[in-house]
Amino acid sequence: MTTLAAPEVLTRCRRLVQPALQEAVGRLHPWVSEMAAYSFGWCEVGGAPAVASGGKGVRQALAVLGAEAAGAPGRAGVPAAVAVELVHVFSLLHDDIMDGDPARRGRPTVWKAYGIGPAVLAGDALFALAVETLAGAGSDAVRLLSAALSDLVRGQADDLLFATRPWTGPERVRPEEYRAMAEHKTGALLGCAAALGALLGGAPPTTVAALDRAGRHLGVAFQIVDDVLGIWGDPVVTGKPVHGDLRERKKTFPVLAALDSPTAAAGQLARLLESDGPVQEMADLVEECGGRSAALAEAHRRMALAEAAHELRPLLDYLLRRDL
**Span 95-110, mean pLDDT?**
90
pLDDT of residue 2: 41
CA distances (Å), origin 185, targets 73, 101, 110, 206, 256: 29, 17, 21, 23, 18
Cα-Cα-Cα-Cα torsion 111, 113, 114, 118, nearest 10 degrees, comes to -20
From first CA to last CA, the distance across the chain in angstroms is 28
pTM, full prediction: 0.90
Instruction: Name which residue leads in pLDDT, 244 or 194.
Output: 194
Instruction: Name which residue leads in pLDDT, 2 or 237.
Output: 237
Mean pLDDT of the chain: 91
- pLDDT exceeds cutoff 80 at 314: no
pLDDT of residue 7: 80
pLDDT in tens, 274-293: 998 899 999 999 999 999 99
**Span 220-241, mean pLDDT?**
84
Q: How far is CA 37 from the centre of its chain?
A: 19
pLDDT in tens, 253-264: 999 999 999 999
- pLDDT exceeds cutoff 70 at 1: no
Helix, strand, coil abundance in the chain, percent, nearest 5? 75, 0, 25
The most confident of the ranges 82-86, 246-250, 318-322 is 82-86
8 Å CB contact between 141 and 199: yes
- pLDDT exceeds cutoff 80 at 62: yes
- 52 by Cβ neighbours in 10 Å (0-12 / 13-18 / 19+) ranks as middle
Bin 28: left if φ > 0, else alpha if -120 < ψ < 50, else beta. beta
